[in-house]
Amino acid sequence: GLAVSDYDRDGDLDVLIVHHGEGVQLLRNDMQAGRWIEVVLRSRPAKGRTPHGFAEGASLVARASGTELRRAAGGASYLSQSTRTVHFGLGAAGRVDELAVRWPDGRRARYGPLEAGTRWEVRQDEAAARRVEPPSRATDAPTAVSSGPGTDRERVLAFWAAHRGGMHALKVEADHAKAAGLFRQALALDPRHEDARYYLANCLAAQGDTAAALAQLEELMRLNDRSHRSYMRWGWLRASTATSDADLAAAERALETAHRINPEETGALMLMAEVALLRGDQALARQRLEAVCRTNPRAAGALFLLGYLDGRGGDPAATRARLAQAREALGPDWKPRGATAEGDVRRQAHEDASLLASAWQRWDGTPDPRRAFASLEKRLAKTR
């Protein structure tokens, strides 16, 4: 894997390489450099809501001292994500005379002049670029605890030792308390590290400390308002521990934000459908479940819940047809939760976040709606 970013904020691009089966190598660019600018694009949010988008696919043309420089907004590569900040090397030019942007929706706009040596933020719904003062190296560097290591290299090594220890404690030892302590050590060295904060939140949730887990996810949202997983996890956690309709409404708002950030991914939409069911809004639940199935026709959970709604609507034939589709979508090797088979493991490395999945995971494949939906009816009755 390879990613590029100006990690030390000195105006040139540095390179991060991940070696398969080995480790991570950071190549800091200390070559002699000319002038530069960096541009952060923010595409218009859907229906006037926040947050702004990343403008993936936008194209930029910077004109400086008679030269045209072309870039594309993006950064995704195989198992890698480079910075989304667009970098222009300007040589001896002291500014970009004009920056032309073609936004993902086809609209075009021009900005400038833009002074060199500066990071600029360009928002699609604003006519002028914003100057963004980059953090100083001292501010942007990992923060060491008073008793911690002193040099930058020592802090980086100490951070990764704590982070890797936390991941081992979480994934291999299944010791959430130990993992949480190690992630806290890592965050003391680098409080802006998103993975460490996300996994700390998961550890706290696993220990039953919901309030602390939600607080960690809220801090992650503050650090990165485009963090799909933080909104998704916050919404799931708030909904799964809800004691009132207000809790479910708050969870729904977070999940709607996650879906706006990444509308191609159906996990948030499926959770939103489950929340709608828990809140008693069957029409909205159906709308969302049908949207999930349009994206993924083999979404067994969505088909199962649509079968339930068909039954509630008085259409037993449609219910049985949905159950048959759900059973087919589960595949020939599917077995209900609790059954055992050769090759089983004690616990899975990953389970999708869901509020009602136990209803179809424990389903034995029976086409009888009354038996198929018995556990789901019990779950929904608790929120009525």
Place of tokens 């003062």: 133
Nearest to 111 by CA among 40, 199, 50: 40
The pLDDT assigned to 169 comes to: 95
Nearest to 308 by CA among 285, 329, 291: 285
Q: Beta 118-123 vs 35-42: how paired, if at all?
A: parallel
CA separation (Å) from 22 to 1, 17, 172, 183, 384? 12, 11, 19, 22, 53
Cα dihedral 270/275/279/281 (nearest 10):
-20
What residues contact 191, with CB distance under 8 A and at least 6 apart?
142, 143
- State the DSSP string of 96-114: ESEEEEE-TTS-EEEE--E
Count of residues in the chain: 384
Place of tokens 């008073």: 146
The pLDDT assigned to 81 comes to: 85
Tell me the whole-structure pTM to 2 decimals.
0.67
The pLDDT assigned to 135 comes to: 42
Which one-letter DSSP state was computed for residue 52?
P
Nearest to 260 by CA among 269, 250, 249: 269
Q: What distance in Å separates the CA atoms of residue 102 and residue 96, rounded to the nearest whole number?
A: 17
Q: What distance in Å separates the CA atoms of residue 249 and residue 281, rounded to the nearest whole number?
A: 12
* Inter-residue long-range contacts of 216-219, CB under 8 Å, 24+ positions, other chains counted: none
| Dihedrals phi, psi of 277, to nearest 5 degrees | -65, -45
- Show the beta-strand stretches assigned E in the chain: 2-5, 14-18, 24-27, 35-42, 59-64, 67-72, 76-77, 80-81, 86-91, 95-96, 98-102, 108-111, 114-115, 118-123, 130-132
Residue ranges of the chain with pLDDT lower than 50? 135-147, 341-345, 347-350
